[in-house]
A and B are shown apart, each in its own frame.
Chain A
Amino acid sequence: MKITPEEVQHIAALANLRLSGADIERYTQDLEEILSYVDQLNELDTSGVEPMAQVLHEGNAAQLRTDEQGRSFDQQTALRCAPLPGEGHFKVPRVIER
Chain B
Amino acid sequence: MDDFKQLTVDSIRAGLRAKRFSARELAREALRVAEAENRASGVYLSFTPERALAAADRVDAELAAGAEIGPLAGVPLAVKDVIMTRGEKTTCASRALEQFVAPYDATAVERVERAGAVIVGKTNCDEFAMGSSNENSAFFPVRNPAAPDRVPGGSSGGSAAAVAGGYAPISLGSDTGGSIRQPASFCGAVGIMPTYGRVSRYGLVAFASSLDHIGPFSRTVKDSALLLGSIAGPDPLDSTAASAPVPDYAGELSAQVRGLKIGIPKEYYGEGLEHAVGTKVRAGVDLLRGLGCEPVEISLPHTRYAIASYYLICTAEASSNLARYDGVRYSRRSEGSGTLREMYRNSRAEGFGPEVTRRIILGTYVLSSGYYDAYYRKAQEVRALIARDFAEAFETVDAIITPVSPFPAFKLGEKTSDPLQMYLSDIYTITGSLAGIAGMSVPCGTTPEGLPIGMQILTNHFQEQTMLNLGHAFEQAGGFEG
Contact = CB atoms under 8 A, between A and B. Distances in A.
- The B interface is mostly helix, strand or loop, or mixed, namely helix
A68 B377 CA distance: 34
Nearest to B377: A51
B167 interface: no
Interface string B88-126: 000000000001110110000000000000000000000
What bracket does the count of chain B residues touching chain A fall in?
35 or more
A69 interface: no
Contacts of A33: 420
Nearest to B373: A51
Contacts of B308: 37-38, 40-41
B318 to A, nearest CB: 11
Given A34-B311, A38-B311, A53-B380, A17 B240 contact: no
A15 B360 contact: yes
Interface in B275-321: 302, 304-305, 307-309, 311-312, 319
B328 interface: yes
A31 B182 CA distance: 25
A41 B378 contact: yes
B210 A54 contact: yes
B368 A17 contact: no
Given A65-B239, A81-B103, A15 B364 contact: yes
B379 A12 contact: no
B333 interface: yes
Interface residues of A, number: 51
Interface in A16-69: 16-19, 23, 27, 30-31, 33-35, 37-38, 40-44, 46, 49-58, 62-65
Given A11-B364, A15-B348, 15 more contacts: A7-B365, A12-B361, A16-B323, A16-B326, A30-B419, A34-B311, A41-B305, A41-B309, A41-B312, A41-B378, A46-B385, A51-B377, A52-B381, A55-B196, A78-B329
Across the A-B interface, the 4 shortest Cβ-Cβ residue pairs: A55-B436, A51-B380, A81-B330, A46-B381
Interface of B: 99-101, 103-104, 195-197, 210, 236, 239-240, 242-244, 302, 304-305, 307-309, 311-312, 319, 323, 326-333, 337-346, 348-349, 352, 357-358, 360-362, 364-365, 368, 375, 377-385, 387, 419-420, 423, 434-436, 461-462
Interface of A: 7-8, 11-12, 14-19, 23, 27, 30-31, 33-35, 37-38, 40-44, 46, 49-58, 62-65, 73, 77-78, 80-84, 90, 92-93, 95
